[in-house]
Amino acid sequence: MRFGKSIRTKLIIGFMGVMLPIVAFMLISNTITRDLVREKVSESYRNTMDIFVGKMDDSLADVNEYFFQMSVLDSDVGLLMSFPMDDDSYMLTKVRLDSKLNRDVSVYGILDSIFLYHKNDIIFGTKSIYGDTKSIIKKTMDELTAPESMKRDDSVDWVVCYDERVPGNYFLVNFTQVNEELFVGATILVNDINKQLGIQWSDGDIGYSGIYMREGDRLLQPISGAKSPISNTLTISSNPYDTIKSPESGADYLVMDRKSDIVNIAYRVAIPEKTLLRSLDFFQDVALFAPIGFLALLFIYLFLMRNMLFKPLQELILGMKKISLGMLDVRLDRSKSSQEFVFLGNTFNKMVEQIKTLKIDVYEEQLRVKQGELKQLQAQINPHFYMNSLNIIYNLAALNDTESVKKMSLHLADYFRFIMRSNRDTITLGEELAHIDNYITIQKMRFPDKLEFTYEASESLLNYPIMALTVQPFVENAIIHGFKNRRKVFHIEIEVEPEGPQLLIRIKDNGVGFADDVLRDLKAGVPLQEAESSRLGIMNVIHRLNLTYDDKASVSFSNRSDQSGAVVTIMLPKLPEEG
- The alpha-helical segments, DSSP class H, found in 145-270 are 190-200
C-alpha span between 339 and 349 (Å, rounded): 15
- Listed in sequence order, the residues at least 6 apart from 369 whose beta carbon sits closer than 8 Å to its beta carbon are none
Domains of the chain: 74-192 (3.30.450.30), 201-276 (3.30.450.20), 402-573 (3.30.565.10)
For residues 39-78, one letter each, b for 16 or more C-beta atoms within 10 angstroms of the residue's C-beta and e for the rest, the string is eebbeebbeebeebbeebbebbeebbebbeebbeebebbe
Q: pLDDT grade, residue 422 (50/70/90)?
A: very low
- Cα distances from 357 to residues 111, 305, 325, 350, in angstroms, run 111, 35, 16, 11
C-alpha span between 115 and 145 (Å, rounded): 14
Average pLDDT over residues 111-130: 91
- Cα distances from 327 to residues 164, 323, 351, 359, in angstroms, run 99, 5, 13, 11
Q: Give the predicted TM-score (pTM) of the model.
A: 0.48
Local structure of 382: helix, strand or coil? helix
Report percent pLDDT > 90 for the chain.
13
In residues, how long is the chain?
579
Q: Strands of 163-301 (E only): list them.
A: 170-177, 183-189, 208-215, 218-225, 242-245, 252-259, 265-272
- Cα distances from 210 to residues 192, 238, 257, 511, 549, in angstroms, run 12, 18, 10, 123, 101
- Please check the confidence at residue 1 and state whether its pLDDT lies above 50: no
C-alpha span between 110 and 93 (Å, rounded): 26
Average pLDDT over residues 82-100: 88
Model pLDDT, residue 336: 62
201 close to 210: Cβ distance less than 8 angstroms: no
Model pLDDT, residue 495: 94
Average pLDDT over residues 389-406: 79
- Listed in sequence order, the residues at least 6 apart from 416 whose beta carbon sits closer than 8 Å to its beta carbon are 382, 386
- Please check the confidence at residue 156 and state whether its pLDDT lies above 60: no
112 close to 189: Cβ distance less than 8 angstroms: yes
C-alpha span between 362 and 370 (Å, rounded): 12
264 by Cβ neighbours in 10 Å (0-12 / 13-18 / 19+) ranks as middle
- Please check the confidence at residue 539 and state whether its pLDDT lies above 80: no
The three-state DSSP-derived secondary structure of 7-33 is: HHHHHHHHHHHHHHHHHHHHHHHHHHH
- Please check the confidence at residue 198 and state whether its pLDDT lies above 50: yes
Average pLDDT over residues 225-243: 77
C-alpha span between 96 and 118 (Å, rounded): 17
Closest CA to 385 of 257, 193, 173, 534: 534
- Please check the confidence at residue 202 and state whether its pLDDT lies above 70: no
- Please check the confidence at residue 184 and state whether its pLDDT lies above 90: yes
Model pLDDT, residue 152: 42
The three-state DSSP-derived secondary structure of 96-134 is: HHHHHHHHHHHHCCCCCEEEEEECCEEEEEECCCHHHHH
534 by Cβ neighbours in 10 Å (0-12 / 13-18 / 19+) ranks as buried
- Count CB-CB contacts under 10 A for residue 309: 17
- Listed in sequence order, the residues at least 6 apart from 319 whose beta carbon sits closer than 8 Å to its beta carbon are 330, 331, 332, 348, 352
DSSP 64-91: HHHHHHHHHH-HHHHHHTTS-TTSHHHH
The residue ranking higher by pLDDT, 405 or 283, is 405
- Count CB-CB contacts under 10 A for residue 250: 7
Q: pLDDT grade, residue 331 (50/70/90)?
A: confident
Average pLDDT over residues 502-517: 90
Give the CA angle between residues 298, 301, 303 to the nearest 5°.
Answer: 110
Q: How much of the chain is helix, strand and coil, in % rounded to 5?
A: 55, 20, 25
DSSP 35-69: HHHHHHHHHHHHHHHHHHHHHHHHHHHHHHHHHHH
Model pLDDT, residue 280: 59
Average pLDDT over residues 18-22: 72
Closest CA to 277 of 23, 28, 24, 31: 31
Residues 24-73 pLDDT 10s: 766 676 677 667 777 777 788 888 888 888 998 888 888 888 888 888 88
Report percent pLDDT > 70 for the chain.
80
C-alpha span between 143 and 295 (Å, rounded): 73
**Measured on CA atoms in the order 161, 164, 167, 168, is the torsion positive or negative?**
positive
Average pLDDT over residues 84-98: 89
Model pLDDT, residue 284: 61
For residues 122-155, one letter each, b for 16 or more C-beta atoms within 10 angstroms of the residue's C-beta and e for the rest, the string is bbbbbebeeeebbebbbebbeebbeeeeeeeeee
Local structure of 284: helix, strand or coil? helix
C-alpha span between 201 and 526 (Å, rounded): 108
113 close to 128: Cβ distance less than 8 angstroms: yes
Q: pLDDT grade, residue 269 (50/70/90)?
A: confident
271 by Cβ neighbours in 10 Å (0-12 / 13-18 / 19+) ranks as buried
519 close to 559: Cβ distance less than 8 angstroms: yes
Model pLDDT, residue 224: 82
166: which DSSP letter? S
The three-state DSSP-derived secondary structure of 444-498 is: HHHCCCCEEEEEECCCCHHHCEEECCCCHHHHHHHHHHHCCCCCCCEEEEEEEEE
- Listed in sequence order, the residues at least 6 apart from 79 whose beta carbon sits closer than 8 Å to its beta carbon are 89, 93
533 close to 480: Cβ distance less than 8 angstroms: yes
